[in-house]
Structure 1
Amino acid sequence: MAIHSRNKALICKVFPSSLRPVAVRWFDGLEECSIRSFEELIRAFGVRFVTCSRVPRPLDSLLSMVMREGETLKTYFDRYWETFNEIDGDFEDVDTRTFKVELPTKHDLRKSLTMKPARSMHQFMDCIDEHKWVEEDQTQGKGWAKAFPKKKDHQSGSYNQNQPRRDFIN
């Protein structure tokens, strides 16, 4: 529509093709000749669909975040950055500190960030990524151990995953 921004009548004709089904139903339900200009159409659309507009979140919504019990680092990281990106302003110096503080005190990433604080956003993101990979690897390892439990060697009475069970060998 930016191409035809000078031709208001054309914009009014093209506008419906940019709408999704709910907005099309609203547009089709407008009374004939109830909108006299594109500016009125914009206002009416804004009033009807104001919930779709982005409202910046306050900084305290970030400060009150906590890593939930049983939550993975990846899930917490995604939730944290989604909230961080919804805050207006430049708070890069705050993000590394609040992220670390909201981790459980025994979390390896918190220990790592305490012992060697990140000097840049890039370094901070790299550190988080490394810990996410380790956590995912450990989770996959636990899943593998559950899928392939150790088998008991009935002759020796011990558990050994790598040796075949001897009670089935002739």
Structure 2
Amino acid sequence: MILHKADNALMCKAFAMTLRGAAQDWFHTLPSGSINSFKELAYVFTKEYTSYRTIKKNPDHLFNLRKKPDESIRDYIKRFKAEKANIVGCNDQITLSAFKKGLPAEHELYRELTITPSQTLAEVFTTAERYAL
């Protein structure tokens, strides 16, 4: 629409037609005449809904994960895999290092993974699942 030089009123109406659910309800609660341009509508909408945006995580996020003292190995594996699934393009070596770093140094699994460091990620998770059992 911007390419066709549509006027502000038309762009605001077209934008409103793309909204669904809570966003549509929000739009209809705007006081009549409170928006003077599409640019202003875009700003108000962005301000309202920016907090709902998912923040993309990078692979470094995995290094913040730690096995909690009262958490089972099975639960740690499950939580770790869930977090890894939210990271696009995470390389296996980083994942493996972060998983191991999240284990307490005194844990048997940590010791085994340190003794045999050339394992693939699949082998590490297989070993971890064996410990979980």
State the percentage of identical aligned residues: 19
Q: After the TM superposition, which residues 22-61 of structure 1 pair with which residues of structure 2 at under 5 Å, given as runs?
A: 23-33=23-33, 34=35, 36-37=37-38, 41-57=41-57, 61=61
Q: After the TM superposition, which residues 34-113 of structure 1 pair with which residues of structure 2 at under 5 Å, given as runs?
A: 34=35, 36-37=37-38, 41-57=41-57, 61-85=61-85, 90-113=90-113
Equivalent residues of 2:84, 2:90 under 8 A apart: no
Equivalent residues of 2:56, 2:87 under 8 A apart: yes
Counterpart of 2:126 in structure 1 is: 126
Of 12, 15, 20, which aligns to 1:12?
Answer: 15
Could you tell me how far apart the structure 1 residues matched to 2:82 and 2:107 are? 21
Could you tell me how far apart the structure 2 residues matched to 1:42 and 1:127 are? 51
Query: Residues 25 and 9 from structure 1, CA distance in 2 versus in 1: closer, same or farther, beyond 3 angstroms?
Result: closer
The offset of 1:126, in angstroms, is: 3.0
Could you tell me how far apart the structure 1 residues matched to 2:106 and 2:59 are? 26
Counterpart of 1:148 in structure 2 is: none
The offset of 1:48, in angstroms, is: 0.8
Query: What SS class does the counterpart of residue 77 from structure 2 fall into?
Result: helix
TM-score (norm 1): 0.52
The offset of 1:28, in angstroms, is: 1.9
Query: Residues 131 and 40 from structure 1, CA distance in 2 versus in 1: closer, same or farther, beyond 3 angstroms?
Result: farther
Counterpart of 1:150 in structure 2 is: none
Q: Runs of 5+ in structure 1 lacking a partner?
A: 1-7, 135-170
Query: Residues 42 and 128 from structure 1, CA distance in 2 versus in 1: closer, same or farther, beyond 3 angstroms?
Result: farther
The offset of 1:51, in angstroms, is: 0.9
The offset of 1:14, in angstroms, is: 3.4
Equivalent residues of 2:59, 2:95 under 8 A apart: no
Q: Decide which structure has the larger Cα Rg and report it.
A: 1
- Please tell me the residue identity of whatever aligns with 2:17: V
Equivalent residues of 1:118, 1:124 under 8 A apart: no
TM-score (norm 2): 0.62
Query: Residues 35 and 89 from structure 1, CA distance in 2 versus in 1: closer, same or farther, beyond 3 angstroms?
Result: farther
Query: Residues 46 and 74 from structure 1, CA distance in 2 versus in 1: closer, same or farther, beyond 3 angstroms?
Result: farther
Encode CA deviations 1:99-126: one digit per residue, 9 max, x unaligned: 1132123433223323334643333333
The offset of 1:89, in angstroms, is: 5.8
Query: How many correspondences in the alignment?
Result: 123
- Please tell me the residue identity of whatever aligns with 1:56: K
Query: Residues 78 and 42 from structure 1, CA distance in 2 versus in 1: closer, same or farther, beyond 3 angstroms?
Result: farther
Counterpart of 2:4 in structure 1 is: none
